Amino acid sequence: MKFLRAIISLLRFDRTNWTALALCVFAAIIFWTFNALNKEYASNLSVPLRIEFDEDQFAAAKEIPVKLTVNVSGNGWDLLRASLNQKSSVITIPIERPTEVHRIPGAILAPQVVSQLGPLKLNFVVSDTLRLSIEQKTTRHLKLVADISKVNFRANMGQISPALVLPDSIRLEGPSSYLTALPDSLNIEVPRRLITAHYRETLEVRMEHSEFIKRDPPVVEIFFEVGLVRNVSLRLPLIEPNKVFGMATDQDSITCILQIPHRDQARFKTDSTALTAILPVVRIQKGDSIRVAPLLGGLPSYAKIVHVDSVTLQRKL
């Protein structure tokens, strides 16, 4: 009990005493901090890095390092200033022939780093190797095509007009290896959803490696009409162009199902007379067989293929 009374008596300071105690503690902290910052230290420092090259002619194909870790020595004030004001200590590495430089060993960076560290002393570069992938910049123009394969419609409803993309082409600028690998057209996928009315929406042009490719425009507008449709089943004779000797099939006609807008039923009766089922030309070994889907010729632009029977082709000779 006496011990507790002693502690309580120590805590019975008035406001003036507590203020004085707080000032003493604050002064001690300030004195310790200033004393510590006047000493010499060695520390790892992460500094901003800029790889400098002609960005009008070349483009990065992979992320370019933007930080460099170095071990430096110096006065505590200088280290604090460098860590708080990194904008003034950006390490700039100029590269004249960027397509020929794929890696930069950390040791080679030392001279450039020393010249830009100010009063700090460089001990060594912690970052082992900087890996680069910079290519010749090129441009391409691609046709844009709407892909509505994942769209669902209400019963007896469907697409009754072509899916238009505005604008219908895009200009791409970026690393040559990425652009030359692209096909001549780019599909813009309409998100999976149930559509019950005319569709019109602005969508982003998404593509692989888009973070390294400049797209102009980056977004496009897609629209198409939705209305009443019906499925029509037809029996079409098979046509075999350039028939390979010894190739045979077990049937002479196929069944196909087409989706026709309700408004176009009358003219489809006339247009359907031009429809043909054409077997694709294939090459297989004697005794082998293959199952293929015929191609529909003379298909009206407003008709959509729902199903086409496949055909077995066999090489007998």
Is the fold of 40-132 the same as that of 229-315? yes
- Looking at domain 136-224, which CATH architecture does it have? Beta Complex (2.170)
Q: Which of 50-64, 114-128, 222-236, 282-296 has the lowest mean pLDDT?
A: 114-128
pTM exceeding the 0.95 threshold for the entire prediction: no
Q: Report the pLDDT value the prediction gives residue 264, as an integer from 0 to 100.
A: 92
Q: Report the pLDDT value the prediction gives residue 22, as an integer from 0 to 100.
A: 61
In this structure, the number of other CB atoms found within 10 A of the CB of residue 79 comes to 20
Residues 254 and 235: their CA atoms lie apart, in Å, by 6
Tens-place pLDDT, residues 26-38 = 555 655 554 444 5
Q: Please determine, for residue 97, whether its predicted confidence score (pLDDT) is greater than 50.
A: yes
Q: What is the DSSP string of 229-252?
A: EEEEEEEEEEE-TTPPTTEEES-S
Helix or strand or coil: residue 81?
A: helix
Nearest to 294 by CA among 308, 314, 306, 307: 308
What Cα–Cα distance (Å) separates residue 239 from each residue in 14, 176, 277, 312?
107, 43, 6, 14
Q: Please determine, for residue 12, whether its predicted confidence score (pLDDT) is greater than 80.
A: no
What Cα–Cα distance (Å) separates residue 317 from each residue in 37, 249, 285, 287, 308?
92, 13, 9, 7, 28
Pairing, β 134-147 against β 185-189 = parallel
Average pLDDT over residues 280-296: 81
Helix axes 76-84, 15-37, angle to 10 degrees: 90
Domain ranges of the chain: 40-132, 136-224, 229-315
Structural tokens at position 304? 């959509």
Domain 40-132 of CATH type 3.30.160: no
In this structure, the number of other CB atoms found within 10 A of the CB of residue 204 comes to 12
Residue 17: pLDDT band with limits 50, 70, 90: low
Pairing, β 91-94 against β 40-52 = parallel
Q: Report the pLDDT value the prediction gives residue 37, as an integer from 0 to 100.
A: 46
* Residues of the chain above pLDDT 90, percent: 38
Q: Which of 85-94, 139-148, 228-237, 298-307 has the lowest mean pLDDT?
A: 85-94
Q: Please determine, for residue 88, whether its predicted confidence score (pLDDT) is greater than 60.
A: no
Tens-place pLDDT, residues 208-261 = 999 999 999 999 999 999 999 999 999 998 887 656 556 677 788 889 999 999
Residues 267 and 20: their CA atoms lie apart, in Å, by 99
Structural tokens at position 77? 């004030």
Average pLDDT across the chain, whole number: 81
Conformational region of residue 74, where left means phi above 0, alpha means psi within -120 to 50, and beta covers everything else: left
CATH topology of domain 229-315: RNA Polymerase Alpha Subunit; Chain A, domain 2 (2.170.120)
